[in-house]
Chains A and B, each alone.
Chain A
């Protein structure tokens, strides 16, 4: 479905991706784990054409998207809940969701809104409230729900668990599993919370300094000593 081949891109003057090749297949949950600054967020933004690919290619559903503009890439069916959530703080929860829905057929709006509210009932309770007044967990729910409103084929999630309490993290990960299972949405998940991400993912990649260091199924990487030491707080903990 999505295939990156030897992708290089720059974050400012720094080469953040130094030749990354990954593949996401239809229906999968693929996790991308790695330390802070490894290039995970840059990779997700590079898929969206900002920053642009300097070298290599990005193929989505048989089409090279590496020269398209950001909004054109979104129109092909990719949505993102980005780093830092980026909800529109001075718009209401409902207005944020309406903006998420601009690429979906208007006739599906009510159904999609009902689904989003069923998944995150808190959003319905707060639909008239400005998004900037929500808690971090609620903002993350809104960012995911907003991305889903466009009925994406591929959903990119950037650190959905960052800074959230364990209970909320469990809710968010349950929701991601549900999105993948019930809606058939393919998911590319970037996480520092490697343990949770690897448990959820079909396959995963480990990104180190802008390069893919290892790859395998979620279970394989969970069991790998190398990954356990580097990202799961040492072998002794689990």
Chain B
């Protein structure tokens, strides 16, 4: 197959963007679900993702210390450890920092969220150290889609990239079915439309809200684990940037809309990859924040969101 070099370069950025975008999408779901059900932006969500990454890293290091070499078993154990503990954090944060403030003015839980965020950053910094942590490259190798003989540009997809995209796609499909088809999903949607009516029907609203935080944290933990694998290096501050980018993704897709969060994540990943590839890589974050400002001024309901007026 002969691919002209500009095309090859484009393909490579597309692949990179898809990988990044699927990770942002997973985090964005947590923002949008919590907003949908309790109407607050959980600004500690980025830190939940960072915790997931650290828990995955600790599990990796522990497993390689005991000499486990099987890739699938390692992946499963790391996933279970990271998801379980991160979900427990998500549950605890809601109970301790948000639930007591549920009937307070909207600003109160927002400030509480920022407090939780600062607490978690400092907690990880103190317990894990401020320096970045690295793991051995995991799941090496990949496929060369277009061999770059004669010094031409090579388009490659690593096994890890394939794994990330396939795994997040499966998760998102499963999650969409959960919300659309199951009674848990129905209760979830009912609560996001009318909490009081849901409780009149016998739905335990507190439990449903807890479940929302747990699911959001679990998906963020998966994202954290995937990033740990993908970049191999993490630090206590990664949650800030990823959090704001995923928040931007949720706003771009339409805050409160689940398909919007996934679409927004994908778009933000692609925009970041193409901006890095064609414009200036050092300005990629500026590009993402620029989009946040643009969406908020021009189309605050996002691509798939409903205009705010409808929410009476």
Residues of A participating in the B interface, judged by any CB pair closer than 8 Å: 48, 50, 69-71, 74-75, 79-80, 82, 86, 88-91, 95, 98-100, 102-103, 146, 150
Complex CA–CA separation, A74 to B204 (angstroms): 10
A-B contact pairs, 13 of them (CB 8 A): A69-B199, A70-B205, A71-B201, A71-B203, A71-B205, A74-B202, A82-B197, A82-B200, A88-B193, A89-B193, A99-B201, A99-B203, A150-B201
> Closest Cβ of chain B: how far from A86's Cβ, in Å?
4
Instruction: Name which of A74, A79, A88, A90 has the most chain B CB atoms within 10 A of its CB.
Output: A88
Taking a contact as CB atoms under 8 Å apart, the answer to whether B189 and A150 are in contact is: no
User: Which residues of chain A are within 8 angstroms of B201 by Cβ–Cβ distance?
Assistant: 71, 74, 79, 99-100, 102-103, 146, 150
Instruction: Name which of A75, A79, A86, A150 has the most chain B CB atoms within 10 A of its CB.
Output: A86
Complex CA–CA separation, A82 to B196 (angstroms): 10
Taking a contact as CB atoms under 8 Å apart, the answer to whether B193 and A102 are in contact is: no
User: Which residues of chain A are within 8 angstroms of B193 by Cβ–Cβ distance?
Assistant: 88-91
B155 at the interface (CB under 8 A from A): no
Instruction: Name which of B197, B199, B201 has the most chain A CB atoms within 10 A of its CB.
Output: B201
Q: How many chain-B residues does the 8 Å CB contact rule pick out?
A: 17
Taking a contact as CB atoms under 8 Å apart, the answer to whether B197 and A75 are in contact is: no
> Closest Cβ of chain B: how far from A172's Cβ, in Å?
19
> Closest Cβ of chain A: how far from B190's Cβ, in Å?
5
Other than the given A79-B201, A146-B201, 16 more pairs (CB < 8 A) read A48-B200, A50-B196, A69-B204, A71-B204, A71-B205, A74-B201, A79-B200, A86-B194, A86-B196, A86-B197, A91-B186, A100-B201, A102-B183, A102-B201, A102-B202, A102-B203
**Given that A88-B193, A88-B194, A91-B193 are contacting pairs, would A99 and B186 also be in contact in the complex, using a CB cutoff of 8 Å?**
yes
> Closest Cβ of chain B: how far from A45's Cβ, in Å?
9
Instruction: Name which of B183, B190, B197, B200 has the most chain A CB atoms within 10 A of its CB.
Output: B200
Tell me which residues from 177 to 199 in chain B have a Cβ below 8 Å from any Cβ of chain A: 183, 186-187, 189-190, 193-194, 196-199
Q: Which of A70, A89, A90, A98 contacts B200 (CB 8 A)?
A: A70
Complex CA–CA separation, A146 to B200 (angstroms): 11
Q: Which of B183, B189, B196 contacts A91 (CB 8 A)?
A: B189
Closest chain B residue to A81, Cβ basis:
B200
Which secondary structure dominates chain B's binding surface? Answer: helix
Complex CA–CA separation, A87 to B205 (angstroms): 17
> Closest Cβ of chain B: how far from A16's Cβ, in Å?
16
User: Which residues of chain A are within 8 angstroms of B198 by Cβ–Cβ distance?
Assistant: 99
Taking a contact as CB atoms under 8 Å apart, the answer to whether B183 and A98 are in contact is: yes
Taking a contact as CB atoms under 8 Å apart, the answer to whether B189 and A71 are in contact is: no
Taking a contact as CB atoms under 8 Å apart, the answer to whether A70 and B199 are in contact is: yes
> Closest Cβ of chain B: how far from A34's Cβ, in Å?
22
Closest chain B residue to A78, Cβ basis:
B200
Closest chain B residue to A101, Cβ basis:
B201
Complex CA–CA separation, A41 to B273 (angstroms): 56
Taking a contact as CB atoms under 8 Å apart, the answer to whether B200 and A88 are in contact is: no
User: Which residues of chain A are within 8 angstroms of B186 by Cβ–Cβ distance?
Assistant: 91, 95, 98-99
User: Which residues of chain B are within 8 angstroms of A86 by Cβ–Cβ distance?
Assistant: 194, 196-197, 200
Complex CA–CA separation, A94 to B269 (angstroms): 38
Complex CA–CA separation, A192 to B262 (angstroms): 48
User: Which residues of chain A are within 8 angstroms of B196 by Cβ–Cβ distance?
Assistant: 50, 70, 86
Tell me which residues from 250 to 303 in chain B have a Cβ below 8 Å from any Cβ of chain A: none
Complex CA–CA separation, A26 to B204 (angstroms): 27
Taking a contact as CB atoms under 8 Å apart, the answer to whether B183 and A88 are in contact is: no
Closest chain B residue to A104, Cβ basis:
B202
Complex CA–CA separation, A226 to B200 (angstroms): 35
Complex CA–CA separation, A69 to B207 (angstroms): 13
Complex CA–CA separation, A79 to B205 (angstroms): 16
> Closest Cβ of chain B: how far from A200's Cβ, in Å?
23
> Closest Cβ of chain A: how far from B22's Cβ, in Å?
27
Closest chain B residue to A50, Cβ basis:
B196
User: Which residues of chain B are within 8 angstroms of A88 by Cβ–Cβ distance?
Assistant: 189-190, 193-194, 197
Taking a contact as CB atoms under 8 Å apart, the answer to whether A99 and B187 are in contact is: yes
> Closest Cβ of chain B: how far from A229's Cβ, in Å?
35
Complex CA–CA separation, A165 to B193 (angstroms): 27
User: Which residues of chain A are within 8 angstroms of B187 by Cβ–Cβ distance?
Assistant: 99, 102
